[in-house]
Amino acid sequence: MKRSRLPEDERVVTVTITKEGMALREKAKAIPQALACRLAKKGDLFTPEKVDTLRKQLYRIIDALGKD
């Protein structure tokens, strides 16, 4: 993340995502699916239906957090 102030009004701070930040964001998108796959291997504790529900909820959280 990069912050800079507007020269004409230093009270205003502009925040921009850096290339590194965007790369981390893309990498993080794979986490819910990877987690769901690992949970699916735990047997009856996490049925395919429960894993699917969890995956959908995680994607909803990620989507909601991305809408700033």
What's this model's pTM, rounded to 2 decimal places? Answer: 0.45
Average pLDDT along the chain:
86
| 55/48 Cα distance (integer angstroms) | 10
| 48-66 vs 31-40: helix crossing angle, rounded to 10 | 170
- Contact call for residues 13 and 7 (beta carbons, < 8 A): no
When pLDDT is cut at 50, 70 and 90, the band that residue 68 belongs to is: low
Average pLDDT over residues 26-41: 84
Residue 13 is predicted with a pLDDT of 92
